[in-house]
Amino acid sequence: MQQFDLNEHPHRRYNPLTDTWVLVSPHRSKRPWQGQVEKPLSDHRLEHDPTCYLCPGNPRIGGEDNPDYKDTYVFTNDFSALLENVPQGRFSKGDIYKAESQQGICKVICFSPRHDLTIPEMETSAIRRVVDLWVNEYQALGSNEFINYVQIFENKGQIMGCSNPHPHGQIWSQSTVPQEPARKTDNQRAYYQKHGSSLLADYVQAELEDGIRIVCENEHFVALVPFWAVWPFETMMVSKRHVQNIVQLTDSEKDAFAEIYKRLTIKYDNVFEVSFPYSAGIHQSPTDGLPHEYWHLHMSFFPPLLRSATVKKFMVGYELLAEPQRDVTPEFSAQKLRALPDEHYKQKIMRALFE
Ligand code: H2U
């Protein structure tokens, strides 16, 4: 009998942040790399689209007009999933029926006044202003007595259910810590109590020593494909210093956050030479006033594309009924992403035209 090999044999990998497992089937992807580069789908967009409800000066569906903003712009979601003024209460019946009211505030953030840009095409200095906005919103929303968790996220691409290509993200903040960050709270706390150190600081150090799952890094951040990644090109950006949340980042760490966000998303766009869809979001300490010294700031990216700009990974069948599964190994994906250029493919085309 051969020896167990992570690159050859079906196995399950453990995610210590969420206490969950993923089934990895490397033998199914023994075939050579099939990530064909497709002709870029036409994504030509106007710099200002008069029909876009996020462009400066345009009316929103809620009736308000956007101001003539010049860099970032944030507003309360006109169709907020959570509301500030709701009657408080609980409902229960035996051990089966349980419900609780939920208070919250939802915001929409426009990353840029330019309708035709995306994060990888924006200047690093402009992305830095997005980071600053995240910091301000996390602080302002979190300072509300009834807000105990602030979820910052970005849905990019129609395939992810994003309703508008204008570069934007969202923030949902609420009274309860939702289950994904709650799991991460419990598991980071347990690790910290056992080892006296941050789970992610120890993990990043081990990954940097090993190198096989690293995508790119700068002075203050590392982007890697987690050992336990579920999505084909799932990645995580982690701060090298153990900080609990974005408010604690220094100015040069915020610059580094913006720089690695751009670099990683350029690599993503370069995979299939199309605007790479994903859901991404920041996980950080709850805003319930407790110290949460074990929390370690990170941003996760969950892109659905698998083998081409149109073939995506579906979380169906076994995944819905049993547990998540992947074919290509995280090491394979990391190596692919690492090898891709830091120059955006559109930039390269433009450069070639003018050379
Ligand atoms: P997506 O990131 O999923 O495309 O969502 C955009 C958000 O913008 C969505 O939550 C909000 C929607 O409720 N929105 C407004 O707040 N005002 C509008 O005029 C249109 C869309």
Among 55, 80, 160, 163, residue to substitute to test ligand 1 (most atoms within 8 Å of Cβ): 163
202 Cα–ligand 1 center, Å: 38
Domain locations in the chain as residue ranges: 44-85+97-354
Mean pLDDT, residues 179-201: 98
Ligand 1 within 6 A of 64 CB? no
The pLDDT of residue 169: 98
Query: In the prediction, which pLDDT does 42 show?
Result: 59
Among 29-43, 81-95, 161-175, 274-288, which stretch is predicted with the lowest mean pLDDT?
29-43
Mutating to test ligand 1, I would choose from 164, 166, 172, 279 the residue with most ligand atoms within 8 A of its C-beta, which is: 164
CATH level 3 topology of 44-85+97-354 = HIT family, subunit A (3.30.428)
Ligand 1 atom at minimal distance to the Cα of residue 77: 16
Q: Is 160 in the pocket of ligand 1 (CB under 6 A)?
A: no
Instruction: Annotate 141-195 with three-state secondary structure.
Output: HHCCCCCCEEEEEEEECHHHCCCCCCCEEEEEEECCCCHHHHHHHHHHHHHHHHH
Task: Tell me how far apart the alpha carbons of residues 155 and 132 are, in angstroms, rounded to a whole number.
Answer: 19
pLDDT number for residue 30: 59
Ligand 1 centroid to residue 288 C-alpha, Å: 27
- The residue with greater pLDDT, 104 or 30, is 104
- Report how far ligand 1's centroid is from the alpha carbon of 79 (Å): 7
Residue 31 has pLDDT above 80, yes or no: no
Inform me whether the pLDDT recorded for 207 exceeds 80.
Answer: yes
Give the pLDDT confidence of 241-294 residue by residue, as tens digits: 999 999 999 999 999 999 999 999 999 999 999 999 999 999 999 999 999 999
| 111-135 confidence digits (pLDDT tens) | 999 999 999 999 999 999 999 999 9
Pocket flag, ligand 1, residue 164 (CB < 6 Å): yes
Amino acid of residue 319: E
Residue nearest to atom 15 of ligand 1 (CA): 78
pLDDT digits (tens, 9 = 90+) for 209-253: 999 999 999 999 999 999 999 999 999 999 999 999 999 999 999
Q: What is the pLDDT of residues 297-352, one digit of tens each?
A: 999 999 999 888 888 888 999 999 999 999 999 999 999 999 999 999 999 998 88
Residue with CA at minimum distance from ligand 1 atom 2: 162
- Statement: residue 104 has pLDDT above 70: yes
Q: Is the CB of 61 under 6 A from ligand 1?
A: yes
Q: How far is the CA of 77 from the centre of ligand 1 (A)?
A: 6
Ligand 1 geometric centre to CA of 150 (Å): 18
Q: How confident is the model at residue 355 (pLDDT cuts 50, 70, 90)?
A: confident
130-154 residue pLDDT tens: 999 999 999 999 999 999 999 999 9
Residue 308 is predicted with a pLDDT of 86
**Can you list the pairs that 51-56 forms with residues at least 24 positions away whose Cβ atoms lie under 8 Å?**
52/115, 52/164, 52/166, 53/164, 54/108, 54/110, 54/115, 54/164, 54/166, 54/168, 55/113, 55/115, 55/166, 56/113
Q: Is the CB of 129 under 6 A from ligand 1?
A: no
pLDDT confidence tier of residue 27, bands split at 50, 70 and 90: confident
**With a 6 A CB cut-off, is 77 part of the ligand 1 pocket?**
yes
Contacts of 306 (CB under 8 A, 6+ apart): 232, 312, 313
What is the predicted pLDDT for the residue at 321?
A: 97
| Active site (annotated) includes residue 168 | yes
More confident site: 312 or 71: 71
| Pocket mutation for ligand 1, best pick of 49, 51, 77 (most atoms within 8 Å of C-beta) | 77
Q: Is 155's C-beta closer than 6 angstroms to any atom of ligand 1?
A: yes
Structure tokens at 236: 């995580």
Please tell me the residue having the least CA distance from ligand 1 atom 13: 79
Q: Rounded to an integer, what distance in angstroms lies between the CA atom of residue 338 and that of residue 342? A: 9
From the candidates 115, 166, 168, 296, which is the catalytic residue?
168
Does 37 score more than 60 pLDDT? no
